[in-house]
């Protein structure tokens, strides 16, 4: 965690390049193929942080906020090619990236207390939404961000 004023240039660039630029490159290439076949569904991974702007996570929040905007812009550009573009915005899920914070005896309980469901998500809880967004069942869904946050986005 780093305040904006304390964020080193290389740290900022790494996070933006990984989360936003990487997503842009993938979307651009996949969309080109989907435009040719006149169908498809792109599902980006955003984050609650991209909408809530948590202090100390400036680069991460900015990158995920960028993914949200990229998703919406591409959804509008792709709609005439029968391509849907949506995003999933997870809250706290137990992943390798945040395991140390969640397992920390001081920080972990604080994180869990901020979540209305009083628990973190498990990665397998994301799958059903991804399957839905990839399926024809979501044929009228594009440009949306679905947050899976244990109620965190309701606060």
Q: Which residues form the catalytic set?
A: 60
Tell me the C-alpha distance between 73 and 115, whole Å: 30
Q: Which residues contact 140 (CB under 8 A, 6 or more apart)?
A: none
Tell me the C-alpha distance between 99 and 72, whole Å: 30
Contact in structure between 23 and 44 (CB atoms under 8 Å): yes
Helices and strands, number each (H, E), in the chain: 7, 3
**What are the distances in angstroms from CA 25 to CA 18, 35, 62, 155?**
10, 15, 17, 33
């Amino acid at each position: 965690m780093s305040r904006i004023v304390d964020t080193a240039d290389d740290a900022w660039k790494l996070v933006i390049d990984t989360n936003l630029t990487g997503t842009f490159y993938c979307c651009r290439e996949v969309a080109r193929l989907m435009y040719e076949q006149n169908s498809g569904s792109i599902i980006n991974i955003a984050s609650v942080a991209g909408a809530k702007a948590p202090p100390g996570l400036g680069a991460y929040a900015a990158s995920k906020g960028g993914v949200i905007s990229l998703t919406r812009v591409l959804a509008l550009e792709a709609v005439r090619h029968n391509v849907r573009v949506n995003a999933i915005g997870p809250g706290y899920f137990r992943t390798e990236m945040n395991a140390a914070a969640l397992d920390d005896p001081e920080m972990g309980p604080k994180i869990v207390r901020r979540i209305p469901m009083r628990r973190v998500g498990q990665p397998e809880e994301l799958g059903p939404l991804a399957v839905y967004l990839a399926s024809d069942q979501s044929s009228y869904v594009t440009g949306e961000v679905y947050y899976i946050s244990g109620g965190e986005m309701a606060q």
